Amino acid sequence: MERHIHIEQLRTTAIEDLEVEIVERKGQGHPDSLIDGASESVSRALCEYYLQNYGTILHHNVDKGLLVGGRSNPVFGGGDVIEPIYVIVAGRAVSFIAKENKIEPIPVGRLTVSAIKKFFKSNMRFLDPEKHIIVDYRIKQGSADLIHIFEKSKGIPSSNDTSIGVGYAPLSPTERLVLETERFLNSDKLKKEIPELGEDIKVMGLRKDREINLTIAAATISSLIPDKSHYISIMEDTKKRVEDFSSKITDMNVRLRMNPADDYQKGVFYLTVTGTSAEAGDDGNTGRGNRSNGLITPLRECSMEASAGKNPVNHTGKLFNILAQRIADKVYNEVKGIREVYTRILSCIGNPIDQPQIASVALVLEQGISLSSIRADVESITEEQISKVTDLTSLILSGSIRFF
């Protein structure tokens, strides 16, 4: 079948030419990132169990998650969690299967609880999943029609939903700075050098003309900070390191604010016991955090789909966001004369996932470049990537693709 690929030129201002740009990233310990990770960990645990026991991935979608913040009492040199964080993941999954004329139950609950606790343990150095979180789940047997759609195709899977995937390239200098700053602050290297920094790090970037204002909210580990002076030194050290790091990312002037809600005179410090604001009342929702490229970019096109927790076989709410980003990156990197690429892919429930309703690629071109001169190359890349959409499943399961 001929694929519906549409290539057009956008006659608009590129993001770097706008006077104002706003970009956000919620770090790995932010409540929204934690619940995204919890939902995705359940999906991967289900996939592993299904593959090990039945040789195939069965239908599931566990992309509805809620993290309800707890209560804590962090103090210099110590503190404790008074009320644990509550985490619940909901959705649908094949929970039993007919085998040799018997109904064989699948331990969805045990898999869910174990996966979430393992995820928290591997991502949060000072959060004890046995003490600091309560894990719950509401995962029921999937509806018959969606299970049928999942199972009906022996070759190319059929789309689980009518949904939109969006990607764009390249990242602007501001976007790259915001993304890389959070990754830098949460890197293993920096955590060894400044272990007092927690994992809940949010970076907000505001560019006005050629000046970038970075606001960083960084949780700290109270047990490692004996007093006010130590806390202040940590903030000063972290600020200097980010300033040095920023100079390697961009030549624009970067102004930095660290934990601006602190008030040293009134004794207000961003202290946490576990490294996340989730311990003291901040909540999280699956899909409310970073988009599939790891950023929140209100001045860009994006999909509102929650990718985390959706099955990696035929849920286009997950696959098409990843696919759209891969197309955008490849087009930008391989076709000369393009300033920006925006890819939008729309599925139709029940149709093969390699036959979207449309794959729309919109281009902001460099001056003097005509659409006709590059159309064929852009269409060829888009066609090739769509034809390889089923390859994404194994890449997702291996953890080699980041999408929040």
In a domain, 22, yes or no: no
Query: Residues 291-305: pLDDT tens digits?
Result: 999 999 999 999 999
Whether residue 49 sits in one domain with residue 146: yes
CA atoms of 150 and 145, how far apart (whole Å): 9
In-domain check, residue 266: yes
For 59, the token pair is 């239908």
Mean pLDDT of 92-115: 92
What pLDDT shows up at residue 142?
A: 74
**Which of residues 285, 303, 338 is at a domain's end?**
285
d(CA 282, CA 276): 9
* Sequence-ordered list of residues with C-beta below 8 angstroms from that of 378, at least 6 positions apart, any chain: 7, 331, 335, 361, 363
Q: Confidence class of residue 144 from pLDDT cuts 50, 70 and 90? A: low
User: In terms of residues, how long is the chain?
Assistant: 404
Residue 43 has pLDDT above 80, yes or no: yes
Q: 203 and 346 in one domain?
A: no
Residues 46, 191 within the same domain: no
Both structure tokens of 303 = 């999909």
Domain boundary among 101, 117, 152: 152
Q: Taking residues 319-339, report their average pLDDT.
A: 98
The pLDDT-based confidence of 99 (bands split at 50, 70, 90) is confident
Quote the pLDDT of residue 299.
97
Q: Are 142 and 36 within one domain? A: yes
Q: Model confidence at 155, in pLDDT bands (50, 70, 90)? A: confident
133-140 and 102-105 as β-strands: parallel, antiparallel, unpaired?
unpaired
CB 219 within 8 Å of CB 201: yes
Confidence of residue 388 (pLDDT cuts 50, 70, 90): very high
Pair of tokens at residue 99: 């085998």
Q: Is there a domain that residue 361 lies in?
A: yes
**CA gap 145, 128 in Å, rounded:** 40
Same domain, 219 and 239: yes
Percent of the chain at pLDDT above 70? 97
Phi–psi pair at 288, nearest 5 degrees: -90, -10
AA letter at 145: D
Kindly state the average pLDDT of the residues 258-277.
98
The arithmetic mean of pLDDT across residues 339-364, rounded, is 97
- The tens digit of pLDDT for each residue in 206-253 reads 999 999 999 999 999 999 999 999 999 999 999 999 999 999 999 999
Q: Please answer whether residues 281 and 69 qualify as being in contact, where contact means their C-beta atoms are separated by less than 8 angstroms.
A: yes
* Bond from prior residue into 105 cis (ω within 30 degrees of 0): no
Show the 3-state SS of 228-269: HHHHHHHHHHHHHHHHHHHHHHCCCEEEEEECCCCEHHHCEC
**End-of-domain residue from the set 233, 257, 285:** 285
Q: Look at the chain and report how many structural domains it folds into.
A: 3
Residue 26 belongs to some domain of the structure: no
Indicate whether 153 pLDDT > 60: no
CATH number of the domain enclosing 49: 3.30.300.10
Say which amino acid occupies 382: T
Regarding whether 143 and 45 lie in a shared domain, the answer is yes
pLDDT of residue 78: 98
- Same domain as 167, residue 298: yes
* pLDDT > 70? residue 152: no
Give the domain CATH number at 197: 3.30.300.340
Average of per-residue pLDDT values in the chain: 96
**According to the model, what pLDDT value does residue 103 have?**
87
Asked if the model's pLDDT at residue 151 lies above 90, the reply is no
310: domain CATH number is 3.30.300.280
Question: Do residues 115 and 199 both lie within one domain?
Answer: no
For 184-206, what is the mean pLDDT? Answer: 98
pTM for this entry? 0.96
Is residue 104 predicted with pLDDT exceeding 70? yes
More confident residue, 368 or 151: 368
Q: Provide the domain limits for residue 252.
A: 173-285
Residue 181 CA, distance from chain mean position:
16
**234 located within any domain:** yes
Note whether 316 and 361 are same-domain residues: yes
Residues 6+ apart with CB under 8 A from 241: 184, 190, 194
Based on the domain organization, do 139 and 208 belong to the same domain? no
Percent of the chain at pLDDT > 90 equals 93
101, 65: one domain: yes
Q: Is the pLDDT of residue 204 over 90?
A: yes
Q: Are residues 217 and 355 in the same domain?
A: no
- Say yes or no to pLDDT of 154 above 80: no
Q: How many CA atoms lie within 13 A of 210 on its CB side?
A: 4
pLDDT value of position 97: 87
In a domain, 366, yes or no: yes
38 backbone φψ class: left, alpha, beta (φ>0; ψ -120 to 50): alpha
Q: Taking a C-beta distance cutoff of 8 angstroms, is the pair 392, 386 a contact?
A: no
